[in-house]
Structure 1
Amino acid sequence: MTIDPNTRATSAVPKGVRDASEWALRLLIIGLGLYVAARAISAMSEIVVPVIVGILLCALLEPITRRLATRLPRGAAAAITVLGTLAIIGGLMTFIGSQFSAQLDDIVDQSLEGIDQIRAWIRDTFHITDSQFSEYIQKARDSLSGSGNLGETATKAGLTATHVLAGFFISMFALFFFLFEGKAIWAWLVRLFPRSARAKVASSGQIAWGQLQAFCRATILVAAADATGIGLGALILGVPFASGIALLVFLGAFVPVIGALLSGLIAVMLALVAKGPITALIMLGVVIGVQQIESHVLQPFLLGRAVRVHPLAVILSIAAGVILWGIVGALIAVPVAAVVNAVSNHLLADSTPAPDDADDLLTPAEEASVDRDVKAAEDQAAESS
């Protein structure tokens, strides 16, 4: 008895269950791969995070280097850009330090007066005597001091500061080479992929780079607007250290949606301690007003048009970034989401089916275009060096 080879045995498993199991298996493999990659990145976070920061800074500063390179060698233009960035950062820190030193006595006096006002309000509102108030404060101090080994905490703080300093220098070092030989580095990365995939990789890289630059430009404008509004509000209300508040809001605004709000709450706390609850409520109104302008005017017209990421995706990305990498994760969450969204749309847009015998092949024109781009980047790097 012969069996027809074209005859297929009937499976007892329904087709829907088979499809679901195949999807589940593939999703498990993908999830395992992502987990391994995340663990590897986490293990090398002291290198990966500074490099990511360097990439973001490069996206922001590359136009400056490109303009300088029209008059100077590429290496000199990159060095001037990095040194200028360091000079600006150092100048801002020096200015803030001098302002803080000059206002320190006034801040202490106003803080003591504000604490007395807050203490009197708590005592009159909740009918707490001075002895009970002092007892509660002492219990809080004892709980804080007994919550852990202070020496161990100080050691961890010292190690963290050392890691931050080392990461800063790695970021600056990476920034210089990204500005100097960024095209050559990208060309080398493109050559690591099979020739059939280089066209897609190169075009995806251009789209990702455009998204990063658009994000950085829009974020700078939004951060400057937030810092100006909240800083002027603090200055008008007489809140101490208004210049430091403005700088803190500017830096915090690089975390979309929540950054400027959280840093603005520090201004509210300073206003509460130094000026009392009425001034603090007015300062809170200023912070909320600036945030409303940002959310309904600046974000839709600037950041929304630049990266085109849904607000829900922004919130979820920031939450995931905080869980994975803390403050740094919150900083890079939105640009990563914007890049992933743009590149995914680009890769999925080309739905033209390829012939069965021509899978993974480029047309001669596409192959020649990729080779020309790679060769031009290498020649430019050679001339710059």
Structure 2
Amino acid sequence: MTPPDPGPPPESPRPARRRHTDVVDRFLRPFPAPRPRRRFEVPPETGEAPGEEHPEAPAPAGPVQTGFLLTVGVGLALLGWWLLVNVGPVVGWVVTATFIALGLEPLVRRLESRSVPRTGAVTLVVLGLAGALTVLISLVVPRVLAEGAQLAESVPRLVETALRSEAFAELDARFRIHDSTEQWLEGLAGRIGEDQEILGGVFGGVVGVGSVVLRTVAGTLIVLALSLYFLFSLPVMTRWAYRLAPASRRARVQELGDQMLRGVGNYVVGQTCVALLNAAVALTLMTATGVPYAALLAVLVALLAFVPLVGGVTAGVLVTVVAATAGWETAVPYAIGYFAYLQVEAYFVSPRIMRRAVAVPGAIAVIAVAAGGALWGVLGALIAIPTAAAALLLVREVFVPRQDRR
């Protein structure tokens, strides 16, 4: 005989908790641990299993599909060109920040080779650069400002001296420059009292100068921020760029990309050393020969020396013209000494400093600098030679071997 089912066991009575105990337990409960922030990481490489068959090649596209894709491609190209034209300053900021980051990358790599983590290496390089710039600004800027004020005060005297010279007298007798200038100034003064549009134009010019200053300050801050970001995340950016290449050619693309990046970084470092040495030699010569406004002109020489090939010659001509205001006994020795140094720099200094940087033939370098300057101004002239070196590397390593195999 089956015993009757006793049913579920009776529930044990739960102890009642007081309300204040729940509140205390809630406050004493530990805080949850912070969750790591999701990052946009490089996905892992997926290998192909051995023996896996490749899928069949897709059928060729029809004429309608081909025409549609060509039309979409042309439209995207036109859209890209329109964006490039209308956001030119932004592209310039990005390119400048990229070159600054690539210029500091060799120093970071050297510190990384000595077992310094990348974050610490970047921090040390940035702090060192900031300290050097602070010392340079504190030593040079006050003197440059003082000499700039002296130059502004002496401009009327220099203009009056030039107007009283024999050369100006001959030009005035032939072309009547003095009379036409006075007539233009008198007509301008008369129109200012009658036409209010000139005052509006002057006011608009002042507003335009203010907007230029604000745009320059904003651009400088953006370039500095982008340079720091690129410098910290350059390995991740390069890995992402290499992953966009096909797996069969990824190793070769990575090899060529690393060569380009090393060449550009070494070029920026080398050109900076050459420009600073050029400015130091020019300052020494100006101090020895008595050229006026030596500190101000040395800063100008350093900026122009960053432009390859033509920057040093242009700086030499400008400084010689300023030195001529103090007399030919000042201008001639400076010109002889500086242009002699340019020859030494071209044949001995630059080859030693730039031996690890890019190598571009002279004719191609001149064409690249002229084309870059015409297309993008000073920035185009600065990046012309590294761009030409990257193109030559692709031609030598990719195009020529492909042509040889045909």
Q: Look up the match of 1:309.
A: 360
Deviations 1:333-368 (Å, cap 9, x if unpaired)?
A: 1111112212332223544999xxxxxxxxxxxxxx
The TM-score, its normalising length taken from structure 2, stands at 0.66
The yes-or-no answer on 1:243 pairing with 2:295 is: yes
- Contact 1:245 1:264 survives alignment (8 Å): no
Deviation at 1:235, TM superposition (A): 1.2
Q: Look up the match of 1:338.
A: 389
The alpha-carbon distance between structure 1 residues 230 and 74, as it changes in their structure 2 partners (threshold 3 A), is same
CA RMSD of aligned residues (A): 3.8
Whose RCO is larger (CA < 8 A, sep 6+)? 1
The yes-or-no answer on 1:280 pairing with 2:324 is: no
| Identical counterparts, % of pairs | 23
Q: More deviation in 197-206 or 180-189?
A: 197-206
Q: Look up the match of 1:380.
A: none
Asked which structure has the greater CA Rg, the reply is 2
Q: Look up the match of 2:103.
A: 60
Q: More deviation in 119-128 or 163-172?
A: 119-128
Alignment of 1:67-82 (within 5 A): 67-69=110-112, 70=114, 73-82=117-126
Deviation at 1:329, TM superposition (A): 1.0
How far apart, CA to CA, are the structure 1 residues paired with 2:352 and 2:382? 21
SS across alignment from 1:307: coil
Alignment of 1:173-322 (within 5 A): 173-273=225-325, 275-300=326-351, 302-303=353-354, 306-322=357-373
The alpha-carbon distance between structure 1 residues 151 and 283, as it changes in their structure 2 partners (threshold 3 A), is farther
The alpha-carbon distance between structure 1 residues 211 and 282, as it changes in their structure 2 partners (threshold 3 A), is same
Matched length: 322
The alpha-carbon distance between structure 1 residues 325 and 353, as it changes in their structure 2 partners (threshold 3 A), is closer
Q: Look up the match of 1:378.
A: none
The alpha-carbon distance between structure 1 residues 46 and 342, as it changes in their structure 2 partners (threshold 3 A), is same
How far apart, CA to CA, are the structure 1 residues paired with 2:186 and 2:258? 57
Q: Look up the match of 1:8.
A: none
Instruction: Specify which structure has the higher proportion of helix.
Output: 1
Deviations 1:24-44 (Å, cap 9, x if unpaired)?
A: xxxxxx999988765543433
Deviation at 1:72, TM superposition (A): 5.3
How far apart, CA to CA, are the structure 1 residues paired with 2:394 and 2:142? 45
Deviation at 1:186, TM superposition (A): 0.7
The alpha-carbon distance between structure 1 residues 142 and 300, as it changes in their structure 2 partners (threshold 3 A), is farther
Deviations 1:138-178 (Å, cap 9, x if unpaired)?
A: 457679999x9444444444333333322222222222222
Q: More deviation in 229-238 or 100-109?
A: 100-109
Q: Look up the match of 2:170.
A: 126
Q: 1:88 is matched with which residue: 132, 137, 146?
A: 132
The alpha-carbon distance between structure 1 residues 142 and 332, as it changes in their structure 2 partners (threshold 3 A), is farther
Deviation at 1:127, TM superposition (A): 8.3
Structure 2: gaps of 5 or more residues: 1-72, 192-197
The alpha-carbon distance between structure 1 residues 184 and 81, as it changes in their structure 2 partners (threshold 3 A), is same
- Contact 2:102 2:231 survives alignment (8 Å): no
SS across alignment from 1:306: coil
Letter of the 1:329 counterpart: G
SS across alignment from 2:215: helix
Deviation at 1:125, TM superposition (A): 5.7
SS across alignment from 1:78: helix
Alignment of 1:12-23 (within 5 A): none
Deviations 1:235-292 (Å, cap 9, x if unpaired)?
A: 112222212322321222111011122233332233233x135433443334433333
- Contact 1:122 1:128 survives alignment (8 Å): no
Structure 1: gaps of 5 or more residues: 1-29, 355-385
Letter of the 2:170 counterpart: F
